[in-house]
Amino acid sequence: MNIAINGRVLTERKGGPYRYTVNVIKELSKFDRKNNYFIFANNEVNFDFHLGENFNVIVRKLSSKVYFDYVYLPEMSRKYNIDVWFFPKNTFSPWIKGQAVPVFHDIVYFEKELKFREFKFFDNLHHTLMIPINGKISAMNIAVSEFTARRMQELLRIPSEKIRVIKEGVEDVFVEMKDEKKLEAVKEKYNLRIPFFFYAGSLSPRKNMLNVLKAFDIVKSKLPHNLYVTGGYSWRDDEVFKFIQEKKLEQRVIKLGFVNDDELVALYNLADCYLYPSLYEGFGLPILEAQACGCPVITSDVSSCPEVAGDGALVVNPYDVAQISNAMELVVCNSKVKKELIARGKENVKNYSWERCAKELLAVFEEIYVKK
């Protein structure tokens, strides 16, 4: 079987879809020596693991994402006689040759009750047009959570038999660190003041950082903590920085910018609590990353967050600033609650595996290949 992967996401920022794609490829390359894989990318890709001889990376440097997806990949599907196409980010060209399997990390584009547009105009337009089409013409649709699968049925009218829930995993690098020297090095590099709250990722509207900051503003006089956040500038994050300035929080809320994976693991380990009361998540991978590092998590009671967190997090109404601030105080001031969250978080992580994810995906590829 010739299996193709749209690897364009591998040349973009290292967000959730990037991590998803890298880990699926890594696990497939460990155990599948039977099928031929073709990974198509629009720029050079450097894997930090060994790819089997049956894995081929084909690079065509193209600046236009539309041309890459809608012209180049259909051409390659015929040139390489592709049987199954794996699309890690929702959309694909209807002119592709082969059975298409897209992954739905979320369908936030269709969640009208959120009352905000999460992405730029043309990105939003493209996805709102193509996702319903792709969901209907695909051979099988992968949802990363039960929540996402349910919303695909409700909002896109995709029948349940065309949806397979395959949950994500957590990388082995996310563990409790015992190396004090490495932890000290990260503290020194970023001039971290202990103790602190932590958040990693985008500051876009759905991440609910404005309410997180309002909650932090309530507890700042009671707790000595700083709030450290990572990442670059995000879509519609002006309100976040405006609030920081208005409340004079510049010395307590500190943006670290980009951090590498080793530093991210250290930050999870050093933090008193990870704040993730998101308004909408299709999965919520940072919840698992924090839990695996022994960091207590505060997350929201909406979308997929409670599903992914299990009973290993404090769950709050993300629209209720008082609930968020109370949870922050509880984790910091109640050592019993903190210890229980850490223990339950470690147990919860055991339910998620990239190896299992990859094996379940391969089973889907084989299933639709036999049926074609």
In sequence order, what DSSP letters do the residues of 84-130 get, joined into one string? EEEESSS---TT--SEEEEEES--GGG-GGG-S--S-HHHHHHHHHH
Q: In CATH, what class is 2-169+353-371?
A: alpha beta
CA distances from 347 to 49, 270, 313, 328, 360 (A): 28, 20, 11, 22, 22
Q: What is the pLDDT of residue 257?
A: 87
Name 187's Cβ contacts closer than 8 Å, sequence gap at least 6: 194, 270
Q: What is the pLDDT of residue 341?
A: 97
Q: What is the pLDDT of residue 251?
A: 92
Q: What is the pLDDT of residue 76?
A: 97
Q: What is the pLDDT of residue 89?
A: 87
For the CA atoms of 92, 97, 99, 105, the dihedral, rounded to the nearest 10 degrees, stands at -10
Please indicate whether the domains covering 2-169+353-371 and 180-349 agree at the CATH topology level.
Answer: yes
Q: Where are the beta strands (DSSP E) in 207-360?
A: 226-230, 253-257, 273-276, 297-300, 314-316
For the CA atoms of 207, 127, 47, 72, the dihedral, rounded to the nearest 10 degrees, stands at -160
Domain extent listing, the chain: 2-169+353-371, 180-349
For the chain (372 residues), the mean pLDDT of every run of 10, in chain order, is 96 85 96 96 92 95 93 97 95 94 91 70 81 93 97 95 96 94 96 96 86 96 95 70 89 92 96 96 95 98 96 97 97 96 97 97 94 66
Q: What is the pLDDT of residue 236?
A: 66
Q: State whether the Cα torsion 173-258-43-65 is positive or negative.
A: positive
Q: In CATH, what class is 180-349?
A: alpha beta
Cα separation, 91 vs 133, in Å, equals 9
